[in-house]
Amino acid sequence: MPIAQALVDELKKRRETARAGAGLDKLEARRKKGVMTARDRIAELFVPGTFQEWGMHADHDCHHFGLEKKSLPCDAVVTGVGTADGRVVASFSQDFTVAGGSLGRVHAKKICDLMEYALKVGCPVVGFNDSGGARIQEGDDSLSGYGQVFFRNVLLSGVVPQIAIISGPCAGGAAYSPALMDFIIMVKGTSNMFICGPEVIQAATGQKCTMDDIGSPAAHASVSGNIHFVAENDAHAVQITRKLLSFLPSNNVMDPPHHPTPQVDLSVDPGMNDLVPATNKDPLDMYQVIARLVDNADFLEVQREWARNIVVGFARIQGIVVGIIANQPAVKAGTLDIDASDKSARFIRFCNVFNIPIVNLVDVPGFLPGVQQERGGIIRHGAKMLFAYAAATVPKITVIVRKAYGGAYLAMCSADMGADVVLAWPTAEIAVMGAEGAVKILYKREITAASDPKKKEAELVNEYRERFCSPYEAAAKSMITDVIEPSETRAAVAMALRNTLTKRETRPPKKHGTIPL
């Protein structure tokens, strides 16, 4: 006996209703405005036909105030598992057409179930956020739901990559779920993210501001540093997600997707020699160094617009996935400040926990001097970098390009801080401080007493630089592994990476260190 047709028809009808969200007309209206629906976003992420939906027949608890007679298809969130970028990914996508994508008890349960599944199978989570926040009608059930989501964000942290795409509003406490994930991508024009909106800020403090000031993608990308990427639209956000995934392992017990070339290519790149400016006062553009160092100049920069004095991102070097951390002398002379320290410390910890080797490109004159920096806690923030590098057990390869002065030299992962291989260009200057500063302190009297103080100072600076800052001086003391010509950098780093890839380093067992947060 075949199954009764009525049962099959009912299932079809229920599926259609669930897929229509708040109605096909509402979905179409969004598309006409150039905004994807929750299901469009899922479809964009996954290989067609691979998405297995979870909880399509979910609905809210109908005893809640104001929702007694309403049905909320899928409880305003589409969840499930599919294949993206050649691997299994768990995803949820909030449906703004249904009760503003608000989060109630069942909505939260669907997301939590999915996250627990991701934890068990070891697959990344990608969440599309488009929601008015806690479902007001469900009261403290919604609050509790957020708590359960946050708890799982933390359980998954460091086990599977978590990527948040902010496609619409993400207001109030709801913003903390993306903040607990690894990467946040905001979509231009449709998204905002804030704890207290402009009206609340004005009521509480009298300060006037606009949403653009506090919650736009531009504000978060360049001022607050809360987010990692800005996308032109939803499809672009998915493209960035796929690109990001292409560098990441699915979980913390896997290696990243390395595709090593069969043999190390040892050919030199004379163009790298041409990048060195005539004097150490002229800034070197680290982007050009990175472009020549990595495969096909293909570099996925993370947090490009924030703390631009340090550059971080993912690339491959002769097929090996790496996280790159580079000073950028073209911005604030490449000094390390509070934001640069926070940005790099977080990136180092992400690379370490997901087994991604780190390559450091050093041209750093020191920590940024200033009252604001001192009062803002540069000691605590700078210490995060030291802590993160020293705690990282992945392969760490450091290339000292030019300046490597003082505490900043250590903060950029010197041999003493655990670098496995340290390469230095002949232009490298490794010193407790810059020659100019050192000479002023050490030879103040001699300079003042000289018949031509300026000439005397210049002579002493030159002598100090040659004697104490030279890479050969550091090499003689085993502080660096080798001095290389810039043109040899790509080959030398590729070889060092390949040799170090099997590195195993064990540390004393402990719950966790007390990184100065």
Contacts to ligand HXC from residues 102-131, by CB under 6 A: 102
366 is catalytic: no
Contacts to ligand HXC from residues 471-490, by CB under 6 A: none
Minimum distance from residue 349 beta carbon to ligand HXC (Å): 25
- Cα separation, 350 vs 358, in Å, equals 10
Task: Specify the residue, 127 or 323, whose C-beta has the smaller distance to ligand HXC.
Answer: 127
- From 76, 108, 134, 408, active-site residue: 408
Task: Specify the residue, 45 or 99, whose C-beta has the smaller distance to ligand HXC.
Answer: 99
* Binding window for ligand HXC (CB under 6 A); candidates: 112-120, 135-143, 233-241, 486-494: 135-143
**Residue 92 phi/psi, 5° resolution?**
-125, 150
Using rule CB under 6 A, residue 134 touches ligand HXC: yes
- Burial call 219-255: b when 16+ CB within 10 Å, e when fewer: bbbbeebbbbbbbebbebbbebbbebbbbbbbbeeee
- Cα separation, 242 vs 46, in Å, equals 10
Residue 326 contacts residue 360 (beta carbons within 8 Å): yes
Minimum distance from residue 14 beta carbon to ligand HXC (Å): 22
Angle between helices 378-391 and 338-353 (to 10 degrees): 20
CB-based closest residue to ligand HXC: 132
Where are the strands (E) in 189-240, listed by range?
Answer: 192-194, 229-231
- From 122, 139, 158, 173, active-site residue: 173
- From 122, 139, 158, 172, active-site residue: 172
Q: Copy the structure tokens of residue 280.
A: 């150490």
139 is catalytic: no
Task: Specify the residue, 134 or 484, whose C-beta has the smaller distance to ligand HXC.
Answer: 134
Using rule CB under 6 A, residue 133 touches ligand HXC: yes
- Cα separation, 124 vs 117, in Å, equals 10
Using rule CB under 6 A, residue 248 touches ligand HXC: no
Task: Specify the residue, 173 or 283, whose C-beta has the smaller distance to ligand HXC.
Answer: 173
Burial class for 172, CB neighbours closer than 10 Å (0-12, 13-18, 19+)? middle
Binding-residue pattern over the window 155 to 194 for ligand HXC, x denoting contact by CB under 6 A:
--------------x-xxxx--------------------
> Can you spell out the DSSP letters for 445-501?
HHHHHSSSHHHHHHHHHHHHHHHHS-HHHHHHTTSSSEE--GGGHHHHHHHHHHHHT
Task: Specify the residue, 173 or 257, whose C-beta has the smaller distance to ligand HXC.
Answer: 173
Using rule CB under 6 A, residue 37 touches ligand HXC: no
86 is catalytic: no
408 is catalytic: yes
> Can you spell out the DSSP letters for 68-93?
TT---GGGGEEEEEEEETTEEEEEEE
Task: Specify the residue, 122 or 173, whose C-beta has the smaller distance to ligand HXC.
Answer: 173
In this structure, the chain runs to a length of 517
**Strands 396-405 and 429-431: what pairing?**
parallel
- From 82, 145, 382, 407, active-site residue: 407
Minimum distance from residue 172 beta carbon to ligand HXC (Å): 4
Residue 347 contacts residue 312 (beta carbons within 8 Å): yes
Residue from 30, 135, 220, 498 binding ligand HXC (CB under 6 A) = 135
Minimum distance from residue 30 beta carbon to ligand HXC (Å): 11
Minimum distance from residue 223 beta carbon to ligand HXC (Å): 21
Minimum distance from residue 143 beta carbon to ligand HXC (Å): 6
Minimum distance from residue 192 beta carbon to ligand HXC (Å): 8
- Cα separation, 400 vs 268, in Å, equals 18
Using rule CB under 6 A, residue 136 touches ligand HXC: yes
- Cα separation, 353 vs 345, in Å, equals 12
Task: Specify the residue, 162 or 335, whose C-beta has the smaller distance to ligand HXC.
Answer: 162
Q: Total number of residues binding ligand HXC (CB under 6 A)?
A: 16
Using rule CB under 6 A, residue 132 touches ligand HXC: yes
Cα 436 from chain centre: 36
Name 426's Cβ contacts closer than 8 Å, sequence gap at least 6. 471, 483, 485
Using rule CB under 6 A, residue 84 touches ligand HXC: no
Q: Give bridge partners of residue 325 from the DSSP assignment.
A: 312, 360
Minimum distance from residue 26 beta carbon to ligand HXC (Å): 9
Task: Specify the residue, 96 or 367, whose C-beta has the smaller distance to ligand HXC.
Answer: 96
Task: Specify the residue, 106 or 411, whose C-beta has the smaller distance to ligand HXC.
Answer: 106
Minimum distance from residue 193 beta carbon to ligand HXC (Å): 12
Residues of this chain that interact with ligand HXC (CB under 6 A) are 99-100, 102, 132-137, 143, 146, 169, 171-174
- Residues that are catalytic: 172-173, 407-408
